[in-house]
Structure 1
């Protein structure tokens, strides 16, 4: 079973827990997730199965969409509901219009500092390992892009602000919650988070983890297979170069595709550096490449000559 299983992760398990449970379904194949979700978060978690683990890094590159609930007036050390409360302030004077303006002002590119309670490595150690010891160290800010962020609901009585976020990879929504609280002068933390989309995969394609486990327990592996997205479709956001059998073998041998190969592949000329998926007969994903000086430079070749024997 090679492809991507879109899991609707529940509250509680870590992303690795989900992968471990999927791996234990009996396929005996490799499995890995693309883009970590904290235990308190729910929603879209793409799990790559078998050979699809080879394209996990490309799937991770995609934008993400979230719905989050920010609790204003309460600040925690982890910036989310799992942390220890470090400050509390009244939200009585906070007006809905102020919250809306503060949220809108966050849209665009900016440098975000990863929270101490995160999996980022510094000096070979995870930041959360240091944070649990009470240590805080300097972190390098990262450029992130909040392509769209808006307030969808605000409860003035409780201080709960629901936000929609469309952001680039590597964005910490709990940092957004913390920064929103700082901007309003009352503090805040992320109370709940649901991922609505990860790259090309949206929530409407996700299968709840309990459903997957129930199907496995009742021996209905074929029904699980119906939910698996083929590798080529998993990279559907990338432009496609479609090759015949002869040219597919060139890719398998790592040979450069010439101008005529590309002209007959149906691929329009791309901007320099744009990533492209190369497919062969039957839509099989052969490689991922980048447009470089009029040709394609392979980033990852996914087939060998032996794979294409008899194809």
Structure 2
């Protein structure tokens, strides 16, 4: 949900450069994971139907085909609007979480402005619950928004936070979540484990984005991998099961190869070529148009 300095939007997904003066060279962790097949057809249909059912114009539009088409067209974009609004909310929440860490580290921060931005959108609960979780878990930040790089496999990404909790180094990824009807934050997707294990397998971390300064990755020695669901009613931390990390890493490696294979296929040239009939065969003539009726 953040926009790291070295990340760039490209036709091949988000990619990272080694410095601000270089071109993007490797895909982001999230771009690699996006190679997983997903089917959102049912969700898109549900969002469109729900938006149309709630549209106050619907009763009056039933007798007007033009107005009904307008209402249907607006409803069809409901999923995109919801997605875009959720992305903006996620960015605001992630920004607030980063500012909390920066203040704890004694660095320049915009914590008050970040909290105000949430409150103005009716999202102050995210900040309140996050502060409670931060204090309860006694989070001690080491580095927020840390960009990491793996040259061997060829990818990069940005960790939301490296911190210590209870004396253990933790790699943390925040996920902004809605609340269910029982008041609990909705469950994290298992894909967060892939995201975290890819961060753990980094080989370098960024020191100076302008000059392209990197140092050896210092936090890959069996850290705790935490997915933290941040909601309006609670914050819930989930630990990646150490027994499954190898499987999720191998899956990530396969997805990285799939991403590269997709690029190779696109660059190989046209996939379909026209084919004419065998030599000596004639293409059937176009059928004659019927004559216009006499007046």
TM-score calculated relative to the size of structure 2: 0.23
* Structure with the larger strand share: 1
TM-score calculated relative to the size of structure 1: 0.22
Structure possessing the higher radius of gyration over alpha carbons: 2
